[in-house]
Structure 1
Amino acid sequence: MSASTPRSGASRSDNGPRNGNGGRSRGTTSRKAAKPKLTGKERARRIAKYGLIAGLVGALVLSAMFYIAYRATDIPDPNQAFQAQTTNVYYAGGKTKIGRFATQNRESIPLADVPKVMQDAAVAAEDRTFWTNKGIDPKGIIRAAFSNAKGGATQGASTITQQYVKILYLSQERTIRRKIKEAFLSLKIQQQQSKSQILEGYLNTIYFGRGAYGIQAAANAYFGIPAKQLDASQSAMLAAILNSPNYLSPDRSDASRQALQQRYDYVVSGMEKMGSLSASDAAKIEGKLPDTKKQASSNTYAGQKGFMLSMVKQELLRLGFTDQDIDGGGLKVTTTFTKKAMDAAQQAVQQVAPTGVKALHAAVASVDVQTGGVLGFYSGQDYLKSQIDWATTALPPGSAFKPFAVAAGIKDGFSLKDTFDGNSPYTFPDGSTVVNEGEGTGTDFGAKVSLTTATAKSINTAFVDMTQSMDNGPQKIADMAQKLGVPPLKPEEINARISLGGAPVSPLNMANAYAAIADGGLHHSTFVVSKVVKASTGEVLYTAPRKTDQVLDSDVAADTSYAMQQVVKTGTGRAATALGRPAAGKTGTATNDDKRVITSWFVGFTPQVATAVTYSHGTGYKPIDEGYLPRGYFGATYPAETWTAAMKLLMDGVPVEDFPPPANLDGKAPSSGHDPYTPPPPKPKPTKKTSSAAPTTAAPQEPVANGVCDPAYGYPQDPDCPPPSPSPTPTPPSTSPPPILGGGKPSSSP
């Protein structure tokens, strides 16, 4: 042994137990040899081995999970899934369809009818690995991420197969769960369908803008040709639009058209690289979009349907539904509209309104008295020609506002028999005046006119007198109108002339406010959506609540209604008696600062339905008193006749109901000098003995208009008394046909 080799045990002299002499105990067993330490390579091999085992186990688990999830993923029926995305809107009852949102103008065609150049354009635009990928493209996802990070505008992360799956089977939510399901479905579709079948399905379902779903509808919408006639330039443009149909449009702004041009050039370049176009053919079409035809209007929104769908969508948004829910959520929306009421409103205008008058607007709105549901309306024109809805546009209602003053006055202590100054003009302390309808300074109706008569004959001065006789009268009238359903008035509109109706209110709101009077003072907010259901599952997402507020004492409402009934029976609304059932209402005309008439109204109700009618011109504030309404611009003519025609059609078959009798409230008047008119005692009846004797008492003064015919005077001394019927005189028989009755000139009244 060499000197450099240590002797056995020499290197362990300081280890192990020792005996008392300092040597190792001879009786002990020798200790096991220590395990050699692992080298770095050995540790790496061991980690790799266990890692491989864990990886294999994990892969097996993931594969099992993937297999289970893959097997559990069912492909829904394409047609059912596709149709379920459309939101359909129905009339009341939920059976007759009004229309739908995101209308799918679509006609499926076989891939053989799609030009090869169109197929190639779609692939170049949306998925250049389509013919080789497995339905999902991980490289494409990474490439898109880097491109987006750099600000590039190339293809998206989804393959054509993924887009097809998303459109046909899935929602548009952006969640990891949906993306995973999208991947599973894409792989499954890839296994069950050929690439050609997938491309055919994709081109038949994808949205191209202009309401066109699928390549056949798109070719017609943009170029007026079937898909099989598309050329390279047209194909490239349609493929370019797919990336963002609502923005990349030739119909929008210059910025949108420029963005479309850039996307179009990208598609053309891709088609050249794919060999679909030669370099020379690509150069010919690059940089220039093809000509398109003018966008056609959809009949879905023609006539009144556009206004109906617009009202429905606005209400759904207010209720918390999103645009995505509405346009693609597969909802079934049941409305309060009835086809009977909608037809009645339109037919009434067509029957009564003068024809050939440019920019004349006639609007109608009908409300269910007991619910506030909007039954029907006519907006004044075709939605495709103008989107201004005159049934919901606020205009000054004129004297149709007076019933709110009647209700406020009675609530404040006045009675229907209390009297007010009906002479004209009424002069304010500042020297300004209010006049009644009539020649010169207006018609005088007497110094003591009852509230009933003032309402029936629409006497402006009497209403101003009542307003001035109430403590803070203008504000009380404004508050009453708001409680009944009129939107809040502006501060400058709340003045002594408030009852004359200078503040703008829409026909729909006027009808709703009148409905509260008809329903005994119960107010119901107007609504058009009664129920929303998820069509695919039947889940009820919304049901309109029955909201009722007692905003007016029923006795006050009954007296107000009674005064309005007299408008129809003996006042300015006599045209409404042709309805043939109990009705109440009020006429109205509003004037501008030049004293020119700008609106004409009749608003009325039966116990079941309240309807408002207004006529206006141009912007709604242009004069209508010179030739626009040939038979007169007062509410007693065209508006009252239109109202009657609409209500006849609407109430046909509806049971006749009576109004409750007036309560004849007689509270403590807020001011003195308005006591009811007391007629003088009757003249003594003449007898044989006294017939020639002179009267012993002085004749009482001539009575004034108070709504009561005083037999002591009769006609013409008492203006409330009707003229006697003329005695018939015999006339020889006539061989000519009898004359056509009607067409008489109505009396001038507001």
Structure 2
Amino acid sequence: MSGKRRAAVPTQKTKKSPKRPRTRKQKIWRFARWVLVAGLVGLLLVTGGFVYLYRSTPIPDPNKDFETQTSFVYYADGKSEVGSYAKQNRESISIKDMPDNLQNAVVAAENRTFWSDKGIDPRGIIRAAFSNAKGNSTQGASTITQQYVKILYLTQERSYQRKMKEAVLSLKLQRTKSKTEILEGYLNTIYFGRGAYGVQAAAEAYFAKDAKDLSLRESAVLATVLNNPSKFDPANGRDAREALKERYDYVLNGMADAGNITADEAEQAERRLPKFPKIQAESRYGGQKGHMLTMVRSELKKLGFKDEQIDGGGLRVTTTFTQKAMNAAREGMLAQRPEGKEFSDKNLHVAVATVEPGTGAVRGFYGGQDYLKSQINWAVTGGQVGSTFKPFAVAAALKAGFSLKDTFDGNSPFYYNEQGTGPKVKNEGAGDGQSYGDHVSLLQGTEESINTVFADLTVSMPDGPDKILTTAEALGIPKWDKKQHDYNNIDNSPGLEPISGVALGSATIAPVNMANAYATIANGGRAAPAHVITKVTDKDGKRLYTFKQSTKRAITEDVAADTSYAMQQVVKSGTGTAALGLNRPAAGKTGTATNSKDQVSSAWFVGYTPQLSTAVMYVRGKGNEGLDGWLPQYFGGSYPARTWTDVMTRDLEGTDPEEFPPAANLDGDAPDDGHAPYTPPPSPTKKPKPSKTPSNTPTNTPTESETPPPSDTPTPTGDPSCGLIGCESPSGPPSSSPPATPPASSAAPGGQGAREGRGRRRVRRG
């Protein structure tokens, strides 16, 4: 053995094998495990929460917990009360007093699986939750049980918590009450419209009878309207009646499919709706208050409030109306309208609307006949505006580069083609109308309301009809919604389209909107939306809505100043001299329109000061009967202008006169292709009359240029006696017929269907 020691060898560390990356499959599995664990935890939490809610949530007592609160409406001061909406009109009855047809009709309309389902619709809940989370319109409950639970809690809240609570209560109700008890409670609390909660109140509100006496047809109607009372109430016009009939048929077919009635019974009932008796309105709606409350309700619904909230939600609504302006509208009208039984408000309808420039606030109005006698509010129904539409053409022309000094063809008649044949426009006067020469300034044409000047102006502008229409809409005139057929034209202007006669005013426009459009001009060309509500709170004072004041540039200040200057001349020396009686700076325009019988059917004066803008309209009967030969004076410069003056005098009492801005004297670069005006050869039997000399004193002699329709004017379809607002009895409520859309030629002869000008220059630079 050797004595030598072996040298130590350094210890080598063992290398670890590299960590292999997870495969895609492993990652997916790991993610799936996390999802599974999270899902189980979430399910446990949801289950636990559901069990807690189920045990801790009491079932409401419909006769104790179901309460409604009256909503009140106030003048602009927020203190003086205009009126209130329906106090709770509800009377609980036993299901034994509810006809089988009524019960079956409601099930067929609202929840055809009611007798077999478990009280909730999971798919409906999920669908509603997603829709509400996206900010879409609130989705309703799907089953009768869910609807009943929602009614008892009277909440419009959009939340998952409310939907969960609704589902819990629906299941609990299903387990503790029979289907018959649930249906009875539902039919005693559901809202049917017209202030009626429950089927007994609904039977009285719609058919003036007890629920136990309802027929099959009447039961089907009530089952239909509860789905959407505003949409299906037959009193709301033709569209509502048509919608009611369509769903009414659906309900009857559902009853037949379920074996509740025979196919023959369903077919017989579908032939017609039942008769609806005239229901006397509550006395607290008398006078103009009913019209005021109806206007407020309409705007509340546009803002998203439901009928249930309006009638029973305890709202506190502050309006734009002032007592001074409301009284001025009524008293000024009464002081100036003609006296005599034949001119009672049953036959002669005078509408007044006053709007504040810069805010769009409707301060006062007069809608016509007592609301208890007729629910037509002429301040929002309106009529054909005639020449009061011409200022919109003036503004459009100034925007396009024309000036008030530019001259146009004032001869009468004016032909829309080069050959002097076919459609034509006439000025006021016998035969072919009065001629003013072929070099009439736009200023004079406005001052004396010369139709042929505006016909020439329209075709002289490239795309003239469209430019005029666009300007009118920017100033505050709503577009024509051809699908709308009712008596409220706040958001609609029937007949308003870009035809070559558009400037002559064939469209039907509400006085409220005319006053607001003129208010835009008074406000230097900045438009504000017309509105009647400034604030809404709940009964505890919580703000639910506040009007946000804003304006939008419609026309430039210079265009507004020159348009306003032209209308000041109408008052100073033109067709509106009756307004001189205001004794302060004023601008305005007269207007009349004619019907298919060549009769003057409406007379207007719309005007403003810097502080207020007011529109006045006179129409007769159903809105389209002749004024000439019946009304002692029938032009806009007579009764309408004098009424305007009286109303505005009362409105502005105690305020200092304000001046208008000076004219801007615009003289832009108007289009010109070098063509001279065309003048048709004179008639061998007619001689042009000399120009009229304006007078500052109104007389019985018409001073406004009028536009009778040509002999080939098409006659409106249907019964011409029905007029603009349908075949309604002047003293009764509106019929189901819609306002008739006037033919374009009735106030704008020769304009029907002609969308473009002739492409030739007719203007002479002044």
TM-score for both structures, normalised by structure 2: 0.58
- Does residue 314 (structure 1) correspond to residue 298 (structure 2)? The answer is yes
- Does residue 748 (structure 1) correspond to residue 734 (structure 2)? The answer is no
- Does residue 519 (structure 1) correspond to residue 503 (structure 2)? The answer is no
After superposition, the Cα gap between the structure-2 partners of 1:356 and 1:106, relative to the gap in structure 1 and judged at 3 Å, is farther
- Corresponding residue for residue 298 of structure 1: 281
- Corresponding residue for residue 590 of structure 1: 593
For 1:172 and 1:552, the matched residues in 2 are separated by: 41
Q: List aligned pairs for 1:142-157, cutoff 5 A.
A: none
Asked if the contact 2:610/2:658 (under 8 Å) is kept, the reply is yes
For 1:535 and 1:146, the matched residues in 2 are separated by: 36
Greater relative contact order: 1 or 2 (C-alpha under 8 angstroms, separation 6 or more)? 2
After superposition, the Cα gap between the structure-2 partners of 1:255 and 1:639, relative to the gap in structure 1 and judged at 3 Å, is same
- Corresponding residue for residue 431 of structure 1: 420
Q: 1:612 aligns with which of 605, 611, 615?
A: 615
Asked if the contact 1:470/1:671 (under 8 Å) is kept, the reply is no
- Corresponding residue for residue 270 of structure 1: none
Q: List aligned pairs for 1:26-105, cutoff 5 A.
A: 82=67, 84=69, 86-104=70-88
Letter in 2 for 1:548: T
Asked if the contact 2:65/2:152 (under 8 Å) is kept, the reply is no
CA RMSD of aligned residues (A): 5.8
Per-residue Cα deviation, 1:35-74 (whole angstroms, up to 9, x for no partner): xxxxxxxxxxxxxxxxxxxxxxxxxxx9xx9999999999
SS of 2:477's partner is coil
Report deviation, 1:210.
7.1
Q: List aligned pairs for 1:243-258, cutoff 5 A.
A: none
Number of matched pairs: 564
Q: 1:414 aligns with which of 377, 385, 402?
A: 402
- Corresponding residue for residue 761 of structure 2: none
Asked if the contact 1:637/1:746 (under 8 Å) is kept, the reply is no
For 2:461 and 2:208, the matched residues in 1 are separated by: 69
Per-residue Cα deviation, 1:272-296 (whole angstroms, up to 9, x for no partner): xxxxxxxxxxxxxxxxxxxxx9775
Letter in 2 for 1:314: S
Q: List aligned pairs for 1:546-695, cutoff 5 A.
A: 546-627=549-630, 629=631, 631-671=632-672
For 1:538 and 1:401, the matched residues in 2 are separated by: 43
SS of 1:392's partner is helix
Report deviation, 1:349.
2.8
Per-residue Cα deviation, 1:90-134 (whole angstroms, up to 9, x for no partner): 2223222323334325899xxxxx9xxx99979x9xxxxxxxxxx
User: After alignment, is 165-174 or 444-453 more displaced?
Assistant: 165-174
For 1:308 and 1:390, the matched residues in 2 are separated by: 12
Report deviation, 1:322.
3.1
After superposition, the Cα gap between the structure-2 partners of 1:623 and 1:70, relative to the gap in structure 1 and judged at 3 Å, is same
Structure 2 unaligned residues grouped into runs of 5+: 1-46, 101-113, 122-142, 174-185, 228-233, 235-243, 254-275, 481-493, 677-689, 706-766
Q: 1:370 aligns with which of 332, 355, 358?
A: 358
Letter in 1 for 2:452: T
Report deviation, 1:607.
0.7
For 1:435 and 1:233, the matched residues in 2 are separated by: 64
Letter in 2 for 1:555: D
Per-residue Cα deviation, 1:618-659 (whole angstroms, up to 9, x for no partner): 3323322221x1x21100111112212222222222332111
Q: 1:466 aligns with which of 445, 457, 480?
A: 457
- Does residue 531 (structure 1) correspond to residue 535 (structure 2)? The answer is yes
After superposition, the Cα gap between the structure-2 partners of 1:207 and 1:560, relative to the gap in structure 1 and judged at 3 Å, is closer
After superposition, the Cα gap between the structure-2 partners of 1:316 and 1:66, relative to the gap in structure 1 and judged at 3 Å, is same
After superposition, the Cα gap between the structure-2 partners of 1:328 and 1:233, relative to the gap in structure 1 and judged at 3 Å, is closer
- Does residue 330 (structure 1) correspond to residue 314 (structure 2)? The answer is yes
- Does residue 510 (structure 1) correspond to residue 514 (structure 2)? The answer is yes
After superposition, the Cα gap between the structure-2 partners of 1:210 and 1:666, relative to the gap in structure 1 and judged at 3 Å, is closer
Letter in 1 for 2:465: P
Identity of aligned residues (%): 49
Q: 2:377 aligns with which of 367, 380, 389?
A: 389
After superposition, the Cα gap between the structure-2 partners of 1:667 and 1:744, relative to the gap in structure 1 and judged at 3 Å, is closer
After superposition, the Cα gap between the structure-2 partners of 1:470 and 1:301, relative to the gap in structure 1 and judged at 3 Å, is same
Letter in 2 for 1:604: G
For 2:225 and 2:651, the matched residues in 1 are separated by: 41
TM-score for both structures, normalised by structure 1: 0.60
Q: List aligned pairs for 1:204-283, cutoff 5 A.
A: 211=195
SS of 1:391's partner is helix
Report deviation, 1:537.
5.2
SS of 2:626's partner is coil
For 1:487 and 1:164, the matched residues in 2 are separated by: 40
Q: 2:431 aligns with which of 430, 440, 444?
A: 440
Asked if the contact 1:567/1:585 (under 8 Å) is kept, the reply is yes
Asked if the contact 2:208/2:279 (under 8 Å) is kept, the reply is no
- Does residue 356 (structure 1) correspond to residue 357 (structure 2)? The answer is no
User: After alignment, is 176-185 or 94-103 more displaced?
Assistant: 176-185
After superposition, the Cα gap between the structure-2 partners of 1:375 and 1:441, relative to the gap in structure 1 and judged at 3 Å, is same
Report deviation, 1:584.
0.7
SS of 1:377's partner is strand
- Corresponding residue for residue 738 of structure 1: none
Structure 1 unaligned residues grouped into runs of 5+: 1-61, 109-113, 125-141, 150-156, 186-201, 260-292, 676-703, 707-718, 723-741
For 2:439 and 2:567, the matched residues in 1 are separated by: 19
Report deviation, 1:343.
2.6
